[in-house]
Amino acid sequence: MKPVKVGLLGLGTVGTGVVRIVEGHQEDLHRQTGAAIQIEKILVKDRSKARSVSIDADKVTLDPMDILNNPDIDVVVEVMGGITPTKDYILEALSRGKHVVTANKDLMALHGPEIMKKAEEKGCDVFYEASVAGGIPIIRTLAEGFSSDRITKIMGIVNGTTNYILSKMSQEGAAYADVLKEAQELGYAEADPTSDVEGLDAARKMTILGTLGFNVNVALSDVTVKGISQVTKEDILYGKKLGYEVKLLGIAERTGDSISVSVQPTMVKTTHPLASVGGVFNAVYVYGEAVGETMFYGPGAGEMPTATSIVADLVAVVKNMGLGVNGRRGVAPYKEKKLKTDEEINSKNYILLHVEDKAGVLARITQVFSAHDVSLESVLQHPNPTNPKAEIIIITHDASQANMKKVLKDFESLDVIDKIKSVYRVEG
Instruction: Render pLDDT for 247-271 as a digit per residue (tens, 0 to 9).
Output: 999 999 999 999 999 999 999 999 9
User: pLDDT at residue 376 above 60?
Assistant: yes
Coil, strand or helix at 368: helix
User: Domain ends where: 243, 266, 299?
Assistant: 299
User: pLDDT at residue 6 above 90?
Assistant: yes
Is 205 a residue of the active site? yes
The domain tally of the chain equals 3
Residue range 273-286: average pLDDT?
94
Q: Is residue 336 situated within a structural domain? A: no
Q: Is residue 332 situated within a structural domain? A: no
Which of 89-93, 241-245, 359-363, 384-388 shows the lowest per-residue confidence on average (mean pLDDT)?
384-388
CATH of the domain at 403: 3.30.70.260
Q: Is residue 331 situated within a structural domain? A: no
Q: Is residue 28 situated within a structural domain? A: yes
pLDDT band at 152 (very low <50, low <70, confident <90, very high): very high
Q: What is the largest CA-CA distance in the chain?
A: 83
Residue range 82-94: average pLDDT?
97
User: Domain ends where: 291, 323, 355?
Assistant: 323
Sequence-distant (≥ 6) Cβ neighbours of residue 333 within 8 angstroms:
113, 116, 211, 215, 216, 217, 218
Q: Are 282 and 151 part of one and the same domain? A: yes
Q: Is residue 334 situated within a structural domain? A: no
Q: Are 270 and 162 part of one and the same domain? A: yes
Residue range 25-40: average pLDDT?
95
Average pLDDT, the chain: 93
Q: Are 149 and 128 part of one and the same domain? A: no
Residue range 17-43: average pLDDT?
95
Task: Give the number of residues written for the chain.
Answer: 428
Among positive and negative, which fits the CA dihedral 254, 257, 263, 264? negative
Strand order, beta sheet including 126-127? 60-61, 37-43, 4-9, 75-78, 99-102, 126-127
Q: Which of 98, 205, 247, 348 is catalytic?
A: 205
Q: Are 57 and 180 part of one and the same domain? A: no
Q: What pLDDT shows up at residue 380?
A: 87
Residue range 343-363: average pLDDT?
93
Sequence-distant (≥ 6) Cβ neighbours of residue 58 within 8 angstroms:
none
Which of 99-113, 130-144, 221-235, 326-340 shows the lowest per-residue confidence on average (mean pLDDT)?
326-340
Q: Is residue 283 situated within a structural domain? A: yes
Q: What pLDDT shows up at residue 98?
A: 98
Residue range 153-172: average pLDDT?
95
CA–CA dist 24, 54 (Å, integer): 12
Q: What pLDDT shows up at residue 50?
A: 80
Residue range 195-203: average pLDDT?
96
User: pLDDT at residue 131 above 60?
Assistant: yes
Residue range 81-91: average pLDDT?
96
Q: Which DSSP string corresponds to 199-257?
A: THHHHHHHHHHHHHHHTB---GGGEEE--STT--HHHHHHHHHTTEEEEEEEEEEEETT
Q: What pLDDT shows up at residue 332?
A: 66
Residue range 322-327: average pLDDT?
89
In which domain, by residue range, is 54 found?
4-134+303-323
3-state helix, strand and coil shares in percent for the chain, rounded to the nearest 5: 40, 25, 35
Q: What pLDDT shows up at residue 304?
A: 83
Q: Are 277 and 149 part of one and the same domain? A: yes
Q: What pLDDT shows up at residue 329?
A: 67
User: Which backbone phi and psi does 382 adopt, to 5 degrees?
Assistant: -120, 125
Q: Are 154 and 289 part of one and the same domain? A: yes
Q: What pLDDT shows up at residue 187?
A: 83
Which of 134-143, 285-294, 341-350 shows the lowest per-residue confidence on average (mean pLDDT)?
134-143
CA–CA dist 260, 154 (Å, integer): 11
Q: Are 147 and 119 part of one and the same domain? A: no
Residue range 126-147: average pLDDT?
87
Q: What pLDDT shows up at residue 330?
A: 57
Q: Are 145 and 127 part of one and the same domain? A: no
> Beta strand pairing status for 399-400 and 376-382?
unpaired
